[in-house]
Structure 1
Amino acid sequence: MQFRHDNERNDMGTITKALEMLGYFSSSQPEIGLTQFVSLSGRDKATVHRHLVELTKNGILEQDQKTRLYRLGSKILRLAAVREITHPLRSVAEPVVRRISEQVGELAHFTILQDMSAQSVCFYDPQIHGTHVHYNASEIFPLHATSSGLAILAFGQSDIRRAVRELSLRTYTNKTITDHAQLDAMISDVQKTGFSFLKSAYDVEVSSQAAPIFGSDGQAMGALSIAVPNVRMYEGRDGALKKALSQGVHELTHAIGGVVPPELATRWEHNV
C-alpha cells in the first residue's frame, strides 16, 4: 500500500513538473528549444525531453519540424473554449472593463490570481490620448509591484499573504516595494479603503488604481484596475477612478457569482 502511495506522489510530481514547462512561454518568447528549457527549469536534459515529448504527444505543445523549437499546441485553444463556455469569465468581464475604460478615458483591465501572480483576463484602451499605457495581455504581473496585486493580497486568502512574506521581492523600478514591512503596511491601508494605488512601481511611467473582485466565498479572486500615464495622473483625479472602480467591482463581482463584503460596500457607499 505504501509503495502505491509513493508511486502516486511521484506521478503527480511528474505531471506538475511537466505542466510547469508551459509557464515559460510568453508573447516575447513564443517558441523555446530543448536546451533553453533545460536552462530555464534547471533540470537534466533527459527529464526535460521526456516532459516535452509527453506534452507534445497530448497536443499541449507542438514542435516545429525545421527549427525543432516548441510552441503551445492547438489543444489549449479547445480547453480554453470549454472553460469559457462552461464557466464564462472573459465574456462577462469585457463589457464591464470596456465601460469603465470609456468612462474614465484610460486603459482598464481585469486580472485574476494565478500561481502567486496576477494573470490578465481582458483589457480595453479607448486610445483617445496621444500617450498610451503599453499593456501586454500575456504578461504575468507580480502581486507586490502592481495595484492589482496589492488589491488581491489585501482581500484574498491569508495564506497568499503568508506565502508572499517568504519570497524575495523583485525590484522593477526604484519605486518597487521590496521591504516586507512596508508591503504589509500598504496592504493594511488597502484593507481600510478598499482601493490600492501605486505610482511607477512596475512601470516607471505609469500609475494605477485598483479594487478587488470577489468570488462566491467573499475572498478576492482578482482585481479591476485602471492604468494611467503619470503625466495624466493629476491631483484629485483618483476620486473619479475610485468611483468607476467601485461601480465596476459590484457589477463584475455579481456577474461572476461573487459577493462584495457588506462592510466594504458600505464603506464605498459613504466615501466614494
Structure 2
Amino acid sequence: MATSPNKNSDGTVGKALEVLDQIANFGRPVRFTEILEQSDHPKATLYRLIQTLTNLGMLSYDQAAQTYSLGLRLVRLAHSAWRQSSIAPIARPYLDALSEKVGETIHLAQLDRGQVLYVDKRNAARPIEMFSQAGKIGPGYCTGVGKAIMAYLPPIEQDDALQRQAYFKHTEHTLITPDALRADFDTIRAQGVAFDREEHEEGIVCIAAPIILSTGKVIGAISITTSTQRNTLDGLGAFQNDLIHTATQIASAAESWQFPS
C-alpha cells in the first residue's frame, strides 16, 4: 500500500504504526531479526518501539518461540472501529437479503488511501476460492468495488487515489495506467456499475455498485462476484437492478451516520 507522503513528520506515533503495519504484513508470528531485516529504523530504535507496543498490548510476545504478533488490544480497537467507522453494521441486513436472492458472493468495501478495505462478505451458496476476505486490503485499480468508488470521487481525491495505485499487471485484462482507468470511470458513471473483467484474478468476475449519499459523497461499494466457470459478465449484468437497489438502501440507512473522510 502507498504510504502517506507526510509519514516522516508523524514522529514516534507514525513510526510505531509503521512497525505494526510491518508485523501485520507478515501474516504470522515473527522474530525480531526478521522485522529488523525489513525495517528502515536502527536496531535500538526498532527494539524500543517494539517494547513500547508490547507493553501497551498492541503486540504480544511469545517467550518460548521468541516471536511477536498483533496483540489483543488491537482486536478490541478493530472491533470498535468496525462498529463506529465502518458501514458494515448498517449494511448487514441488506447484504443478507441480496446474498439470499442472488446466491453469489457479496462484498462490501470502503476505500482506504486508494486501496480497497473489505469490511464484510457473504459467501455464495457454493463458495469459490478468491483473494478477498473481510478485513483484507486489496488494490483499488483492478477490483470492481475499487473502481466503483474511485469513479465517483471528486477530481482531487480521484487523482490522489490514482497516484497511490501500484499498477501491477495481475492478468492480461488488468488496466495499468491512470488514463485507462479514467476512461473506464466514464463508462462506470454512465452505466451506474463497474465490472471486474478478470482484472485481479483469472477466472473471477464481478459487478459492483457505489454507495452514494444524497450529498454525492461516495462512502463505499458492494459487489456480486462469481467465477467464469459458472457465470459470465452478461449473466452478472442481470443482477444490476438488485445491486443498485441494495446500494441505495444502504446509502439511505447511512444518511444519519458520520463517517471519517
Give the structure-2-normalised TM-score.
Answer: 0.84
Displacement of 1:209: 0.8
Deviations 1:57-107 (A, max 9, x none): 211111111222221111123223434555663322222222212211100
Q: Tell me, yes or no, if structure 1 residue 99 matches structure 2 residue 104.
A: no
Deviations 1:153-200 (A, max 9, x none): 111243332124434412222221112221111112112222100221
Separation (CA, whole Å) in 1 of partners of 2:214 and 2:256: 4
- The answer to whether the 8 Å contact 1:206/1:229 transfers is yes
Distance 1:133 1:208, change over 3 A: farther
* Other-structure match for 1:132: 128
Identity of aligned residues (%): 26
- The answer to whether the 8 Å contact 1:112/1:118 transfers is yes
* Other-structure match for 1:31: 29
Q: Which stretch of the first structure deviates more once superposed, 245-254 or 41-50?
A: 41-50
Separation (CA, whole Å) in 2 of partners of 1:118 and 1:23: 16
What letter is aligned with 1:205?
A: G
Distance 1:70 1:99, change over 3 A: same
* Other-structure match for 2:220: 222
Q: Tell me, yes or no, if structure 1 residue 148 matches structure 2 residue 145.
A: yes
Distance 1:40 1:194, change over 3 A: farther
Q: Tell me, yes or no, if structure 1 residue 256 matches structure 2 residue 260.
A: no
Separation (CA, whole Å) in 1 of partners of 2:171 and 2:48: 39
Deviations 1:91-149 (A, max 9, x none): 2222222221221110001011113211111101132x3x6243433321101010111
What letter is aligned with 1:148?
A: V
Larger radius of gyration, structure 1 or 2? 1
What letter is aligned with 2:56?
A: N
> For 1:123-202, what aligned pairs fall within 5 Å after superposition?
123-127=121-125, 129=126, 132-134=128-130, 135-167=132-164, 168-202=166-200
- How many residues are matched? 249
> For 1:59-78, what aligned pairs fall within 5 Å after superposition?
59-78=57-76
- The answer to whether the 8 Å contact 1:146/1:198 transfers is yes
What letter is aligned with 1:17?
A: K
> For 1:6-25, what aligned pairs fall within 5 Å after superposition?
12-24=10-22
- Secondary structure of the 1:232 match is coil
Distance 1:39 1:251, change over 3 A: farther
Displacement of 1:44: 2.9
Separation (CA, whole Å) in 1 of partners of 2:99 and 2:11: 42
- The answer to whether the 8 Å contact 1:63/1:71 transfers is yes
Displacement of 1:250: 0.9
Q: Which stretch of the first structure deviates more once superposed, 132-141 or 118-127?
A: 132-141
Deviations 1:2-44 (A, max 9, x none): xxxxxxx977332122112333455971323323323334333
Q: CA RMSD in A?
A: 2.6
Query: Of residues 87, 111, 114 in structure 1, which corresponds to 2:112?
Result: 114
What letter is aligned with 1:132?
A: I
* Other-structure match for 1:267: none
Give the structure-1-normalised TM-score.
Answer: 0.81
Separation (CA, whole Å) in 1 of partners of 2:157 and 2:62: 38
- Secondary structure of the 2:237 match is helix
Unaligned runs of 5+ in 2: 1-6
Separation (CA, whole Å) in 2 of partners of 1:235 and 1:76: 39
Distance 1:63 1:232, change over 3 A: same
Separation (CA, whole Å) in 1 of partners of 2:156 and 2:67: 38
